[in-house]
Amino acid sequence: MNRRLQLIFGIIVMLTGIGLMLVPLTGLIPTVEQVSVPFLDRFVSGGFEQELEVGEYITVVDEKSGKLLDMTGRVVYVGDEFINENNEQYEITKVRGDKAFAKKTGVASGIVWKDEWDTVPAAGGSSMVSSTVNSSGGQAQIAIYHTHSDESYVPTDGTESQPANGGILKVGSSLAEKLQAKGITVADDKTPHEPHDANAYHRSRKTAVRLLKHNPVALLDIHRDGVPDPGFYSETIEGEDITKVRLVVGRQNPKMATNLQFAKDIKAYMDKNKPGLIKGIFIGKGNYNQDLGPRAILLEVGTYTNIRGNAEDGAAIFADALPDLLNLTAAKGTTSGQSGSAWSTLAWLVGTLLAGGAIFLFISTGSIKGVKSKLGELKKTEFANYFGLKKQTGDVDENIKDEDE
């Protein structure tokens, strides 16, 4: 009976495998720019990307005048830099407790309006286009995830932290829905990465690598700040009360230059089209998983004391300008950009498995002639036995009864 089952399985494998292997392989295996190696990941992510407890924050002052320059809920280090809303660039020179001192290094370069943006949708810096650009039928795609998936907004959510279900997820959804309304495909990932600690970046790295399989044009990690003053991020744009968005770039990764230029392009574009939206650019010690691509950026949408609805509106305004900045066009005939590829890939994998079964059938019979012989045997006996299974079972039951008697 075991050999009969093997024969049935082998034939099914052979026939189904042949059919599925006809599926074209081109484009089914996506190009991933960076492979995640768990052992190495611990050294490139989650070391310096630390934050203070909610409500605690660092004030950054001018080292000469003592004038307040910035505030942040993240840990800052000597050598960190930031670009303020007026494009003035500063470098941290000293950190003492909850106060950091900075010196002005000049006006940031590269934050300029590009002439081509006046005539055609912006390309977001054509020199930064790499293998992460979507190659599936010309469809553009944005990938969104949340390293700190617990982050929330107290006035709306009632707490600053809701593990695995923070209000920040809804802010990400607001950004995604605005893009989708424009016909842009979005991979909006809600994977939790608790607990909220520096190692969360190590855990979220796996999510980021998975998202890169969709070949996104940009990879966005959505956060909120921990500064207690809600006015620090508050703004009114186009008659709406919104929160500003701060861009964060890690300065310890091989793609720091391209990610920083991406942030500068965002600021230059938004400053003209959505003035007041971008809080500035923080260039901090750490990786933030931005070594994975040339357009990987961390967004801080408001702070925990802001109304979440304002943060959602700020994210939506950010999303409204993003397609033109990145030269994204509406996808045709789909809103996810993933289903067709997923089914084709599944067919290819199943086909490969079944083809292996066909090889097993050939080996078990020893030759093509043996396969034909087994096929003949199957035709004469196996299907007859199958359709006569109930009768056989009854005969067995009767034999058992006779033996009992």
The string of DSSP codes covering 53-117 is: PTT--EEEEETTT--EEEEESB---TT-EEE-TT-EEEEEEEEETTEEEEEEEEEPSS----GGG
Nearest Cα neighbor of 269 from 404, 110, 37 is 110
Angle between helices 339-365 and 368-377 (to 10 degrees): 100
Q: What is the CA radius of gyration of the chain?
A: 29
Q: So what's the pLDDT on residue 118?
A: 74
β-sheet bridge partners, residue 92: 102
Q: So what's the pLDDT on residue 108?
A: 97
Q: So what's the pLDDT on residue 352?
A: 56
Residue range(s) of every CATH 3.40.630.40 domain in the chain? 109-334
Q: So what's the pLDDT on residue 53?
A: 85
Q: So what's the pLDDT on residue 143?
A: 97
Tens place of pLDDT for every residue, the chain, 405 residues? Answer: 566 666 676 677 666 665 554 444 333 333 333 333 333 333 344 567 788 888 899 999 999 999 999 999 999 999 999 999 999 999 999 999 999 999 999 999 999 998 877 765 444 333 233 333 333 333 448 999 999 999 999 999 999 999 999 999 999 999 999 999 999 999 999 999 999 987 999 999 999 999 999 999 999 999 999 999 999 999 999 899 999 999 999 999 999 999 999 999 999 999 999 999 999 999 999 999 999 999 999 999 999 999 999 999 999 999 998 998 888 877 765 443 333 334 444 554 555 555 655 555 556 666 666 656 655 665 555 444 433 444 444 443 433 344 444
Angle, vertex CA 147, rays to CA 181 and CA 314, nearest 5? 40
pTM > 0.85: yes or no? no
Q: So what's the pLDDT on residue 330?
A: 77
Q: So what's the pLDDT on residue 80?
A: 97
Q: Provide the CATH topology of domain 109-334.
A: Aminopeptidase (3.40.630)
